[in-house]
């Protein structure tokens, strides 16, 4: 029986939290009773964590954690380590804004033993022109630094085997801003069994984006510097 852990970071998502938690908890319940939904509150200043605590009384496979604010990438990294400590056989990650569709999880799960990692490909994403541009720029950055062309390196819809995740996770620096991007690079460079699958990516279902264009630009600049530094010492990283 394969144990699944779904990892979801959350910051100020009180508008979406109940719907997202219930929908993804249903996925873990349908997989088996050993699987867990792990939602990590990243220092929210609204009622996100309070709502999660209330939901735990109804959703037996939901585990919630609250920590100080570090940002999306660091919270995802925290969640991956948490899932491995729980003894997960497979780790799935998505976000708490309701943009991804739980119904599309099953085509990933059915092929879980055939791939080390399966990543959603957000073709025709519906979350704004600015973010689509950022995705295209990221592709160019990864190509220029690592000579690597990916379909969607940062997609928040990915299923990984625990064994393969353990091989790569220790290479990601603590508090890193773009954990999923670097993980994609590590999997690609290791010539892992990778599949990209087209997924639906809806507009945010409620609340407001916590990352604006200026912050995205700053994160991108930091990531570029980090990636260049890693590329120079690639024997240690890859």
Domain boundaries, the chain: 4-237
Q: What pLDDT is attached to residue 3?
A: 98
Beta carbons within 8 Å of 67's beta carbon, 6+ residues apart: 40, 41, 42, 43, 75, 78
pLDDT at res. 122: 81
Tell me phi and psi for residue 118, to 5 degrees: -125, 130
| Run of H or E residues at 64 | strand 62-67
Residues (pLDDT < 50) of the chain are none
- Name the token pair of 50: 């309070």
Contact yes or no for 6/27 (Cβ under 8 A) = yes
Residue 178 pLDDT: 87
* 4-237 topology per CATH: Spore Coat Polysaccharide Biosynthesis Protein SpsA; Chain A (3.90.550)
Find all residues with CB under 8 Å of 226, minimum gap 6, and list them: 173, 176, 177, 178
Report the SS3 class of residue 194: strand
Rounded Cα distance between 191 and 161, Å, is 15
Q: What's residue 143's pLDDT?
A: 74
pLDDT digits (tens, 9 = 90+) for 151-200: 888 889 999 999 999 999 999 988 888 899 999 999 999 999 999 999 99
CA–CA distances in Å: residue 142 to residues 67, 185, 186, 225:
31, 8, 12, 12
State the pLDDT at residue 222.
67
Q: How far apart are CA 87 and CA 75, in angstroms?
A: 19
* Residue 141, pLDDT score: 75
pLDDT, tens digit, for every residue of 90-106? Answer: 999 999 998 999 999 99
d(CA 82, CA 32): 19
pLDDT of residue 235: 54
């Amino acid at each position: 029986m394969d144990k699944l852990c779904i990892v979801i970071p959350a910051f100020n998502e009180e508008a979406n939290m109940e719907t997202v938690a219930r929908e993804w908890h249903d996925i873990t319940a349908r997989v088996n009773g050993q699987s867990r939904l792990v939602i990590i509150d990243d220092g929210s200043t609204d009622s996100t964590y309070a709502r999660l605590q209330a939901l735990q009384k109804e959703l037996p496979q939901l585990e919630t954690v609250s920590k100080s604010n570090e940002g999306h990438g660091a919270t995802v990294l925290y969640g991956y380590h948490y899932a491995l400590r729980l003894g997960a056989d497979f780790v799935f990650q998505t976000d708490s804004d309701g943009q991804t569709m739980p119904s599309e999880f099953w085509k990933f799960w059915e092929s879980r033993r055939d791939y080390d990692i399966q990543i959603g490909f957000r073709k025709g994403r519906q979350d704004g022109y600015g973010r689509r541009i950022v995705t295209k720029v990221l592709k160019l950055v990864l190509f220029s630094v690592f000579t690597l062309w990916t379909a969607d390196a940062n997609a928040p819809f990915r299923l990984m085997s625990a064994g393969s995740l353990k091989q790569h996770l220790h290479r990601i620096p603590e508090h890193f801003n773009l954990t999923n991007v670097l993980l994609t690079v590590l999997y690609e460079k290791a010539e892992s069994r990778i599949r990209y699958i087209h997924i639906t990516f809806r507009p945010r279902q409620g609340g407001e984006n916590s990352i604006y264009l200026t912050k995205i630009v700053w994160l991108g600049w930091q990531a570029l510097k980090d990636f260049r530094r890693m590329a120079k010492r690639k024997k240690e990283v890859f």
